[in-house]
Amino acid sequence: MKAFFIVSLMFLLLACAATREEMERHPFLSEEGPDKVTVAPTGIVTTVGRIALVRNGSEYCAIKFTGAWKGEKEGDYYSDYESYYQGDGTGDFDNRNVKIINEQLIRRHVIGFFSLSFPASRQNLDIKCGPTRLAWGFGSSIHFFATGQPQGDHGIELAPTKWTDISQVNAFDSRLKWYRYDAKRRRDIFPIDRLWEDGNAK
């Protein structure tokens, strides 16, 4: 019985340490204010109500955050989003085969100390686009990788847009600028109204 208790405690310590490491591995992409777009090495921050596009090979997805707010306790964050997945290679979001998800993302404050730290309750940290999962920090941020994946280029491309409705989306619009993970890219912040002007977020 004593041996079982010791082994269980060891597994608990390892699990808590892994959880803390996971929470610290992908720092937040902080929001810089309303109607701003941020392009960073590890992801983008779009604007609530505007659509961001995801490209993974021939698969396309559109993501729109419909709300983002802080909880009552420090470290609690919530966001509502909807995603539209088009996996047939056409990029046509008018087709009936588009898969739609409406979900709430949750990041909870941490309790405990050091390696025994863990989220206060259930979390939901990944944006779902069909089979693709993309890590969310808080607000309207989207990473180029899923929670649990190492930071790096996993073939995911993101394009912020001005569009507010899925009916407006053209995945092949020449104005779109697609970004991939780039550890050397400088962080760039600009107003959404300047999104498709030349010279932004090089």
pLDDT score of 115: 46
pLDDT score of 74: 79
What's the structural domain count of the chain?
1
Contact 94, 78 (CB under 8 A): no
pLDDT score of 143: 97
Residue 65 within a domain: yes
54-85 pLDDT, tens digit each: 999 999 999 999 999 888 887 789 999 999 99
Q: Which residues pair with 38 in a beta bridge?
A: 45, 189
Residue 111 within a domain: yes
Interacting residues of 81 by C-beta distance below 8 A, sequence separation 6+:
63, 64, 65, 66, 102, 103, 104, 105, 127
* Structural domain range at position 120: 2-194
pLDDT score of 2: 55
* Intervals of the chain under pLDDT 70: 1-33, 109-121, 198-202
pLDDT score of 108: 80
pLDDT score of 187: 92
Residue 180 within a domain: yes
Residue 199 within a domain: no
Residue 157 within a domain: yes
pLDDT score of 182: 97
Contact 187, 36 (CB under 8 A): no
Locate 186 and state its tokens. Answer: 């400088």
pLDDT score of 138: 84
Residue 202 within a domain: no
